[in-house]
Structure 1
Amino acid sequence: MKPNLVHQAWNGAEKCKQCRIRELVLFADLQQEDFEQLHHPIIDIELATGETLYREQQAPEFVFTVRSGMIKLVRYLPNGNYRVVRLLRQGDLAGIEALHNSPYLHHAIALQETSICRIPVEDIEQLNQHSPHLYKQLTARWYKVQSDANIWLSEFTVGNSKKRVANLLLYLAQHNSNHYFYLPSREDMGALLAITTETASRIIAEFKRLEYLQVEQQGALIDIDKLKQIT
């Protein structure tokens, strides 16, 4: 490997060891000797709202850790409509299918300004072969994909529209220490919950009128107890 790439890879490893969300990410359990096996640079990427990280069927070279912000995974339908199949938040791994050498299954698009770490699949394969510390985190990431898929099926696409919107708001409010969370557009909410944009708009307006939901400059706030009564 060229000297400048060695330097970049080493700097990337050092950043991983010092990462402020280290306990949430794929490399949480790695030890010093594991980081020494990283041979390719781990690049920080800043995505603007609406920017595409990767596209469906694109050849997989990297997986991506979400450091901040939010990513939507989108599947476009033959009729021109789209479905949001999953939301990725801080600590989540995007493009996990690349670890099976499969093309990316979705379009990954930033819902808001988002910080990403780009990790070469080659390095993960190398670590997985020579280090016992990565297996636990890889297993946890696959489990989370399955768990999120179950949530999408059981809570976001079943029941009446009002229940679906309430479940989504409760989900988005989780794990936010300042109690504010990003509220997707009505179009994205419709694509995620299998309802129309108009229905999503009507229910959000009703929740705001009833003071179940407040939308402020910092983000959205909900009355958890009232929304739980709906679900």
Structure 2
Amino acid sequence: MIPIKTESAWRGTADCRNCGIRDMVLFADLHEDDFNLIHAPIDDLEYAGGQPVVRLGETATSLYTLRSGMIKLVRNTVDGRQRIVRVLRSGDVIGLEALMGPTYDSDAVALTNVRVCRLPLQVIQRLNRETPRLHQRLLEKWHRSLKEADDWLAELNFGNARQRVAGLILKMRSTTDAGIATLFSREDMGAMLDLKLETVSRTLSAFEREGLIEPQDKQGRLYRVVDAERLVAPKAGAE
């Protein structure tokens, strides 16, 4: 497991000017002079899979940009169940709600080992006042996050079990290789799709038997998508 580098907090370990994913995150549109406005440290932190990055209801003091790995956003339903409302990947921003309210509105938990940059709110607020480009980028990120949250609900919470699991597989394909999909524990998949763990396992096994997907690891987290067209249109009459 990757240790959480809490001992490095607030020491300013990040190098935003030379960040490898800078074009994907908030600072893509900043000019060299804009970086002179940053007086609070920005930290590059690591979290192991299963560790929380922020907690629902926790006082919001920072935004986080996801450099690598995947994070799940989790909320509780009225009947006490946990639902995963979205999965974040490299370039996504955690905690945008901190710009509008005092607390975080979801648990953000590492699905895999992750690296994040922690951006103190005072940095964002000052750049927002001084740099209209950042304000525009924040609005774009907010709009995209709302749209993706709606897409998750629309695409993954309707239809039968086959359609839901197939939809998740296709949604979790790599941005660099559409033939590879990275999944998670069966329990997490059930929480995303509002399905029982047993149903998720049975559906994945059926897809393997039918030659639609092939496992690429022993843990059952990495799959090759063999026939995306048949996944898009699963068999009629399935549960």
How far apart, CA to CA, are the structure 2 residues paired with 1:178 and 1:86?
A: 20
2:222 paired residue number: 219
1:122: how far off?
A: 0.8
More displaced 10-residue stretch of structure 1: 178-187 or 100-109: 178-187
| Contact persistence 1:63–1:120 (CA under 8 A) | yes
Distance 1:187 1:35, change over 3 A: same
1:207 paired residue number: 207
Quote the sequence identity (%). 37
How far apart, CA to CA, are the structure 2 residues paired with 1:78 and 1:147?
A: 23
1:57: how far off?
A: 0.2
1:17 paired residue number: 17
How far apart, CA to CA, are the structure 1 residues paired with 2:172 and 2:123?
A: 32
1:4 paired residue number: none
How far apart, CA to CA, are the structure 2 residues paired with 1:8 and 1:54?
A: 19
1:153: how far off?
A: 2.0
How far apart, CA to CA, are the structure 2 residues paired with 1:195 and 1:96?
A: 29
How far apart, CA to CA, are the structure 1 residues paired with 2:37 and 2:101?
A: 21
1:133: how far off?
A: 1.5
How far apart, CA to CA, are the structure 1 residues paired with 2:102 and 2:167?
A: 32
| Contact persistence 1:64–1:118 (CA under 8 A) | yes
Deviations 1:112-136 (A, max 9, x none): 1111110111110100111121022
Deviations 1:177-209 (A, max 9, x none): 484332111111111111111111111111111
The 4+ residue runs of structure 1 with deviation greater than 6 A are none
TM-score by length of 1: 0.89
How far apart, CA to CA, are the structure 1 residues paired with 2:110 and 2:44?
A: 15
2:132 paired residue number: 132
- In structure 2, list runs of 5 or more residues that go unmatched: 1-9
Deviations 1:24-76 (A, max 9, x none): 11111111111110111110111101011111000000110010000001113
- In structure 1, list runs of 5 or more residues that go unmatched: 1-6
| Contact persistence 1:21–1:67 (CA under 8 A) | yes
TM-score by length of 2: 0.87
More displaced 10-residue stretch of structure 1: 221-230 or 97-106: 221-230
How far apart, CA to CA, are the structure 1 residues paired with 2:144 and 2:76?
A: 23
Summarize the alignment of residues 58-73 of structure 1 with structure 2, pairs less than 5 Å apart: 58-73=58-73
How far apart, CA to CA, are the structure 2 residues paired with 1:109 and 1:30?
A: 29
| Contact persistence 2:46–2:115 (CA under 8 A) | yes
2:194 paired residue number: 194
